[in-house]
């Protein structure tokens, strides 16, 4: 599966799993509220890749979802509802849809990976 996530800021992430998507969303949130400037690392055509010194939990870290929920609570003073008994991929997908409902993600596209 490939997920294309379009953010309100105009940036786009192309990821393989919902957990990867939350990792990129969290990194973007940290940059929105940080004084750190992103460094352009590579530019190929329309694709730009940036380097960051900020640290976020990786897609396989058990602290990723609690960190994302904390960032959501700080920003909207709300907590997304998701099945806490579900596996982390399903939880991440529910949170991505919640972020889309609240307008921070403007579009989620699901495709087969090429």
Task: Give the predicted TM-score (pTM) of the model.
Answer: 0.80
Angle, nearest 10°, between helix axes 88-101 and 18-32? 50
Q: In sequence order, what are the beta bridge partners of 6? A: 12, 107
42-70: pLDDT as tens digits:
777 776 666 666 677 888 889 999 999 99
Query: In this predicted structure, what is the pLDDT of residue 21?
Result: 93
Q: Which residues contact 92 (CB under 8 A, 6 or more apart)?
A: 17, 18, 19, 21, 22, 64, 65
> What is the per-residue pLDDT for 9?
82
Between the CA of residue 27 and those of 24, 59, 85, 112, what are the distances in Å? 5, 12, 25, 25
Residue that the structure tokens 């959501």 belong to: 72
pLDDT value of residue 94: 96
- The count of C-alpha atoms lying within 13 angstroms of the C-alpha of 7, restricted to the half-sphere facing its C-beta, is 15
Q: What is the pLDDT of residues 16-41, one digit of tens each?
A: 999 999 998 998 887 655 555 666 67
């Amino acid at each position: 599966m490939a997920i294309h996530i379009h953010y309100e800021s105009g940036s786009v992430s192309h990821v393989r799993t919902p957990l990867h998507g939350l990792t990129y969303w969290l990194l973007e949130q940290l940059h929105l509220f940080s004084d750190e400037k992103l460094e352009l690392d590579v530019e190929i055509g329309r694709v730009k890749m940036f380097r960051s010194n900020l640290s976020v939990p990786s897609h396989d870290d058990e602290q990723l979802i609690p960190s994302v929920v904390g960032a959501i609570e700080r920003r909207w003073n709300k907590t997304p509802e998701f099945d806490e008994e579900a596996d982390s991929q399903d939880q991440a997908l529910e949170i991505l849809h919640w972020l889309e409902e609240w307008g921070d993600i403007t579009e989620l596209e699901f495709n087969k990976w090429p």
